[in-house]
Every structure is written in structure tokens, then in C-alpha cells.
Amino acid sequence: MNKGDLQSFVKDRRKRLGLTQEELSYKAGVGLRFIRDLEQGKPTLQMDKVNQVLKLFGYELGPVSVNREKLANEER
């Protein structure tokens, strides 16, 4: 996964559910500006608000190894 994975994940899930950014912001209890920033990959976002959005999709933020590709190759 790369830097844009979170933004791509949220945008894809939103579109799969047929929601506009405005509808998602309302359902998640965050501002429309926050959803736009999230989907555009703003590097500084409040984790609690990101989790509010992810909760709608059944997910939450968690620790991910920085060297995921290297670790995946070593496991093979």
C-alpha cells in the first residue's frame, strides 16, 4: 500500500455506496471540507475524525509497518 491508499479506500467505498461527499460527511458527523481533504490525501488529519468516517465502512485506523513490501518479500 502507498500514501494514497487511505484516500483511495474512502473514495472507493463512498462511491460503492452511492454517496456524495456531502452525504458521507453528514452520515459520519464530520464536515464536508474534512471529507474533501481526506479524499485528496491531506497529510495532516485528525485521527478521531478519520475513524468516524472509517467506522461507517466497518474499519478503523491501526499500525502498519513502514517496510510492508520488504517484510512481505522476506516471508516468501
Rounded distance between C-alpha atoms, residue 64 and residue 21, angstroms: 27
Query: At residue 67, does pLDDT exceed 80?
Result: no
Confidence of residue 64 (pLDDT cuts 50, 70, 90): confident
Instruction: Single out the residue of 48, 55, 3 nearest to residue 24, CA to CA.
Output: 55
The reported pTM is: 0.80
Which residue type sits at 76? R
Which of 6 and 65 is assigned the larger pLDDT? 6
6-53 tens-digit pLDDT = 999 999 999 999 999 999 999 999 999 999 999 999 999 999 999 999
Q: Provide the domain count of the chain.
A: 1
Rounded distance between C-alpha atoms, residue 19 and residue 62, angstroms: 25
DSSP strands (E only) in 1-76:
none
CATH code of residue 36:
1.10.260.40
Question: Is 39 in contact with 10 (CB distance < 8 Å)?
Answer: yes
pLDDT on residue 4: 62
For residue 55, the enclosing domain spans: 5-75
Q: Is 49 exposed, middle or buried (0-12, 13-18, 19+ CB in 10 A)?
A: middle
